[in-house]
Structure 1
């Protein structure tokens, strides 16, 4: 392990991207090398090539293991990062994104005063949860959960969650906690439909192989947190939204209907379309019948 081998140069940037990167990481397409880039980048490398990702703007550090234990190692070794930056984005390394999208996400996080948010996914992405795919009618949706693929956390939220990162390779279960840390959590987490990124590889393929070597599984990590904090299934609900004309939607069922209509109209664009009708029906049922719970969760020491 070598997570403290690179100190970021002094900048005036308020935002940081940390990517846990393998040899095929796509982060060089994110625009951090542009002299006008408004965020800093740290590449936390889990590969074995001593020459990989040594460009000055990449700020490489090394750590074997999973995504979240690697992020814990970095932020524990360099806790000043949590004071230096206002928002920290933690994307997977197989996301196609550009500088404009990433910067716009940080800008909108600040504008809306969010604690945590994420970009949406393009319809041709590999995905785990249908409601995080881009819904073209909306600018953004307020949601009760944020997935682990590309969360953007306010630094104080990252600091509160950091102890839980230590024993988590997969991050499963973290996504049901970090939207519920404050006394009032309504309106503090959102998915940005107008800011989509593309997930290019099947979900969890590399992670599952890595975890099996340690005798762990993502689902075991989820069950452990679920037993500690008493939550159930992961299914994101969109409870408010702002559409492309600036109108605010406050009816959860109507948001669900609009999402289903958009996805049906664009169903030919889906990469994973084999179970689409089943997933759309499930989304609609949840939007109609499931209540939003954003009550505060107190993390255990």
Structure 2
């Protein structure tokens, strides 16, 4: 089966999260997995045998992704439709990854991310899981686990090589896409757990720059707004447990509509015409 989705993720000697979570449970997946190894030496090569693709690029996350998609496998931009760039300290299972791709495709999202579990290490509280929502449209999604469609990726990929830390890239993506209000989303129906403290991942040990200065520099270079973590709209979950008042109004509206329809279909006018034998 030819898959149209791919997970592309950095990995190192101390980050087998892909095996423990992304490929766990033996569930069928709707995505290929490509791992980009950043350490100089590979301690356990057999550990990565389940990945569909493996490249030893020894660089930073988005710089490796840029090299992969512009030099090594540029044809993937035509082969795949959705690209999920997950950090190697993100716990999310196979079925949730499948659902991420399905939801992004169904709603024609340009960039999306899963919501963060309540026990995640978190930089932006607005991205924490909201149990009342299916998803929320945002002005910006976070750099650690964005899912791109092909259109957004081709627009945003030139920014991938501007710094090592990747700080500020997510600010720039919103600018490069002209600040859409219904194409960037955090999907609350899906949750992921950020396992390490912010700045505590393996790759951060290799960074030769101040991430805060990098963030300021890239925002200035692209003329972007530094923080666009603003909600533009939401899909609410309406049931007996959540948003009950709205559910009550919806049910009342349904009853009124059914009463109106019954009158129009079977009211006085219908009965008179039926008695007179007038074809309706």
TM-score bracket for this pair, using the shorter chain length: 0.7 to 0.9
Q: CA deviation at 1:81?
A: 1.0
CA separation in 2, counterparts of 1:188 and 1:32? Answer: 30
Does the Cα contact within 8 Å between 1:45 and 1:61 map onto a contact in 2?
A: yes
Q: Distance in 2 between matches of 1:55 and 1:35?
A: 17
- From 21, 26, 48, the equivalent of 1:54 is 48
CA–CA separation in structure 2 for the residues paired with 1:57 and 1:167: 28
Tell me, yes or no, if structure 1 residue 162 matches structure 2 residue 154.
Answer: no
C-alpha deviation, 1:62, in angstroms: 0.8
Q: Distance in 2 between matches of 1:18 and 1:155?
A: 14
Give 1:35 shift.
Answer: 7.0
Q: 1:166 to 1:80 in 2, by over 3 A?
A: same
Shift of the alpha carbon at 1:207? 3.7
With the length of structure 2 as denominator, give the TM-score of the two structures: 0.77
2:32 matches 1:40: yes
Rounded Cα–Cα distance in structure 1 between residues aligned with 2:140 and 2:179: 15
Deviation of residue 167 (structure 1)?
A: 3.0
**8 Å CA contact retained: 1:144, 1:179:** yes
Q: C-alpha separation between the residues in 1 aligned to 2:151 and 2:225?
A: 26
Residues 176 and 231 of structure 1 are in contact (CA less than 8 Å); yes or no, is this contact kept in structure 2?
yes
Give distance in 2, aligned partners of 1:190 and 1:15: 18
2:191 aligns to what?
Answer: 196
Distance 1:49 1:67 in 2: 17
Q: Distance in 2 between matches of 1:86 and 1:154?
A: 6
| In structure 1, C-alpha distance between the alignment counterparts of 2:85 and 2:216, rounded to whole Å | 23
* 1:16–1:40 contact (8 Å) kept in structure 2: yes
Q: Which residue of the other structure, out of 237, 240, 248, is the alignment partner of 1:244?
A: 237
Q: 1:106, 1:182 → 2: CA distance?
A: 20
Do residues 27 (structure 1) and 23 (structure 2) align?
no
What CA deviation, in whole Å up to 9, does each residue of 1:94-120 have, x standing for no partner?
111111111111111011111110001
Q: Mapping of 1:113-132 within 5 angstroms?
A: 113-132=108-127
- For 1:57, what is the secondary structure of its paired residue? coil
1:71 aligns with 2:65: yes
Q: Deviations over 1:135-168 (max 9, x none)?
A: 1111100000011010000122212222221232
Q: Which runs of 5+ in 1 are unaligned?
A: 1-10, 247-301
CA RMSD of aligned residues (A): 2.0
Q: Distance in 2 between matches of 1:72 and 1:157?
A: 14
Distance 1:198 1:183 in 2: 30
Q: 1:220, CA displacement in angstroms?
A: 2.2
Question: 1:232-289, CA deviations, whole angstroms, 9 ceiling, x for partnerless residues?
Answer: 432511120111128xxxxxxxxxxxxxxxxxxxxxxxxxxxxxxxxxxxxxxxxxxx
**Structure whose CA Rg is larger:** 2
More helix by share: 2
Alignment pair present for 1:171 and 2:166: yes
Contact (CA 8 Å) 1:101, 1:195: kept in 2 or not? yes
Alignment partner, residue 291 of structure 1: none
Please say if residues 89 and 194 of structure 2, whose CA atoms lie closer than 8 Å, have aligned partners that are also in contact: yes
Deviation per CA, 1:196-221, whole angstroms, max 9, x where unpaired? 0111111122343211xx3x121222
Query: For 1:118 and 1:127, how far apart are their aligned partners in 2?
Result: 14
